[in-house]
Amino acid sequence: MARPVYLDHAATTPMVPAAVEALTKHLLEVGNPSSLHASGRHARRVVEESRETIAQALNCRPGEVVFTSGGTEADNLAIKGLHWSRAAELGPAPRLVSSSVEHHAVLDPLHWLSEGEEAEVRLLGVDGDGRVDLGELAALLAERAVSMVSVMWANNEVGTLQPIEEVVALAARHGVPVHTDAVQAVGAVPVDFARSGVDALTLTGHKVGGPYGVGALVVRRELQLTPLVHGGGQERDIRSGTLDTPAIAGFAAAVELAVKQQAEHATRVATLRDDLVRGVRAVVPDAVLNGDPERRLPGNAHFSFPGCEGDSLLMLLDARGIECSTGSACSAGVPQASHVLLAMGRSEADARSSLRFSLGHTSTAADVAALVEAIGPCVERARAARI
């Protein structure tokens, strides 16, 4: 069977050999990093060396790296933990500001806090390219007490890079901490924790060539976080639970390599992405490229195909061995339009007609050529199915 043409690296990317080697090296070793005997101390050394590796790659202090089970937990810890800590000094239900195009790992905890009347959540609007409205942010910060601002570094659907430094500058005027979900950004664009000025940053292993089920919240040591999980007091008492030593070692190896190779990787996949965009537009002239045409992730190409249902088009491509994703969610078997495209001002039909093609470290020119060859006939069939 031929290898699938995998164009869904934004969902997860294959593990790199360095991460596989680091992970498997420690799988047969015994030792809880919290134990005081020799095996425990060895496991602890692996964890702390991994923490130092990640800190060096992201330009933060090792003590600022808090290991989690992945991006979703890290986002929840940042939003709930920081909001709860700040609410104690700001009073009941302070304002919490985020953007309307965040991943659901951010939007859902925001909704949960709002439903419980623990926060007044305000979501920033975006322009047609998906960039947040800085004027609206300035107004929301000036109106009343804000517990925190959370704006993603790069959008997971359309690839738009957000103006994080400007967001930080506005929030700093009011003494408001900023969290950013940088899950899509690390390894794709330069990410420097200290230079960015953010107070908390989310990353995860499986987006950078590491294992599933491991990630981190990088958070300034001066910042108080209320833990979500209580137990043994691991990770500065912010995130209790026995640490997964092999996964953390694999995670660190992947982060180190991704950051080291970021510039070369970005150049290579951006070239492939540009070829993909030109090829798709040549065979489907009315296809619409979504997201900021300049400030975007190098491996992201997100299209709307007028007259198509994105889900149908995805399955037609899948039948030809080409794997990508829609920007939509699916609830109880019913496709839903992408909230990101709706926030960008697109119609319901446009939002349901979209596909995301995302390239990564295993992508090749042959992958792009296979998509370009297949997309025309698949679009024709998807349009015919709606007649």
C-alpha 154/C-alpha 360 separation (Å) is: 16
Phi, psi of 37, rounded to the nearest 5 degrees = -75, 180
Which residue intervals of 214-291 are DSSP H helices?
A: 245-260, 262-283
Element (H, E) at 180: strand 178-181
Alpha-carbon Rg of the chain, whole angstroms? Answer: 21
Q: How many CB atoms lie within 10 A of CB 12?
A: 15
Q: Among residues 155, 179, 181, which one has the least CA distance to residue 167?
A: 179
C-alpha 182/C-alpha 200 separation (Å) is: 10
- In three-state secondary structure terms, 341 is helix
Q: Which residues are catalytic?
A: 330
Task: Provide the phi-psi class of 236: left if phi over 0, else alpha when psi is between -120 and 50, else beta.
Answer: left
- In three-state secondary structure terms, 286 is coil
- In three-state secondary structure terms, 300 is strand
**CA-based torsion, 311, 315, 318, 320: positive or negative:** negative
Q: How many CB atoms lie within 10 A of CB 134?
A: 15
CA within 13 Å, CB half, 333: 0
